[in-house]
Every structure is written in structure tokens, then in C-alpha cells.
Amino acid sequence: MSHTPFKVNIINRSNNPLPEYATHGSSGMDIRAWLETPIVLQPLERTLVPTGIFVELPEGYEIQVRPRSGLAVKQGITCLNTPGTIDADYRGEIKVILINLSNEAQTIQNTDRIAQMVFQKIEKINWQPVAEINETLRGSGGFGHTGKQ
């Protein structure tokens, strides 16, 4: 079953191709670095990487910026603030916060695929102040309360 994808306005000031799905079943589109010179990230160093991409999202949607698994496992580079959120009313350049969690310096080159973007529908809520909320079997148990298995 296929459906017609949303049309989203995009400006690409980089020389990179537009973000794209790597395979038919991909949920995220790869996004690339747009750099004048390579960035060398030392261990535990973080930086903001420009992409040259600007989007106009429809109201009620967001883009989530997530790490790329290959970059994480091969180089120890991941995204901070994950998933990052690009709100529907944001019109600035999409930039990605990367951190090097490896023990060695890692280099980010122009055109490197640095993250993936997932287009998501969002729901808004209205708070309903009450004196009590319904109990569940779990109750307030959290943070690993079910044990290690």
C-alpha cells in the first residue's frame, strides 16, 4: 500500500542533494553537512554542523533529527538533544548538534551524511487539572523498576 507523500517547501543553499530516503522502507531522510572546511571533533567535543537546508513545515507537523546508526557505531559520533525537533514555525537553517563519543579525533567532511530527519504528525493537548488520576498496576514505578532481564 503506498500513499502520496506530503509536499514540503524546501530551500537548499548547499551543493548537496536534497535530503532523501535511502530505501523505499526508510522512515528517515539522510541530511548532509555543508562545510567550507572539515571539522575535527576531539573526544567528547560537540559542535553545531550547518546543512544549508531551510524548510516550511505544515502546521501540526515536525521534523525529528536523529543520529545515523552507521556513524554512531563506526565513528562514535551521535546527535545531542536527540531527537531534535524542528517546529512547524521555524524558518532558520537546519543545523545538527554532533558529539564525538569515541576515544579518537573524528573528522566531519563537507557532504558527509550526519543525521536523519523523520517527518512526524504531532498532536496538541489541553491540560485538564484534576485532584486525582486513575491508578494502574504499575503505579509510580519507573526507572528500571521491573528489574534486569
Mind listing the pLDDT tens digit for each residue in 50-96?
Answer: 999 999 999 999 999 999 999 999 999 999 989 999 999 999 999 99
Per the structure, the count of domains in the chain is: 1
Around Cβ 102, how many Cβ atoms within 10 Å?
17
Q: Choose among 100, 95, 11: nearest CA to 56.
A: 11
> What's the CA gap between 104 and 86, in Å, rounded?
30
Residues spanned by the domain of 48: 28-121
Would 23 be classed as within a structural domain? no
Mean pLDDT, all residues of the chain: 93
Q: Does 143 map to a domain?
A: no
Average pLDDT over residues 116-134: 95
Q: How far apart are CA 140 and CA 128, in angstroms?
A: 20
19 within domain boundaries: no
* Residues 8-37: tens digit of each pLDDT: 999 999 999 999 999 999 999 999 999 999
Contact assessment for residue 40 and residue 106, using Cβ atoms and an 8 Å cutoff: yes
Evaluate whether residue 144 is within a structural domain. Answer: no
Q: Does pLDDT of 142 surpass 90?
A: no
Which of 8, 78, 73 shows the shortest CA–CA distance to 46? 78
Residue 42 located in a structural domain: yes
